[in-house]
Amino acid sequence: MKKVLLFASGGGSNVKAILRYFQDRPEISFPLIITNNRHAGVIGIAQDNKIDVMLVDKDLFNEEVFIDTLEYFKPDLLVLAGFLWKIPGYMVKAFPNKIINIHPALLPKFGGKGMYGHHVHEAVVVRGESVSGITIHFVNEHYDEGTVLLQKEVALESTDTPEIVAAKVLSLEHTWYARVIDSLLQQA
Ligand code: GAR
Q: What are phi and psi of 139, to 5 degrees?
A: -95, 130
Low-confidence residues in the chain, pLDDT < 70: none
Q: Pick from 84, 102, 176, 177 the residue to mutate for probing ligand 1's pocket: most ligand atoms within 8 Å of its CB.
A: 102
pLDDT of residue 23: 97
How far does the centroid of ligand 1 lie from the alpha carbon of residue 90, in Å? 23
* 79 touches 181 (CB < 8 A): yes
Atom number in ligand 1 closest to CA 115: 14
Q: Is 102 in the pocket of ligand 1 (CB under 6 A)?
A: yes
pLDDT of residue 109: 96
What does the alpha-carbon distance between residue 188 and residue 2 come to, in Å, rounded to a whole number? 8
pLDDT of residue 143: 82
Closest protein CA for atom 10 of ligand 1: 82
Q: Provide the 3-class DSSP secondary structure of residue 77.
A: strand
Given 3-state DSSP classes, what are the helix, strand and coil percentages for the chain, each rounded to the nearest 5?
Answer: 35, 25, 40
Taking the whole predicted model, whether its pTM rises above 0.75 is answered as yes
Taking only the tens place, the pLDDT of each residue in 131-179 is: 999 999 999 988 888 999 999 999 999 999 999 999 999 999 999 999 9
pLDDT of residue 160: 98
Task: Tell me the fold of 2-187.
Answer: Rossmann fold (3.40.50)
Q: Is 12 in the pocket of ligand 1 (CB under 6 A)?
A: yes
pLDDT of residue 188: 81
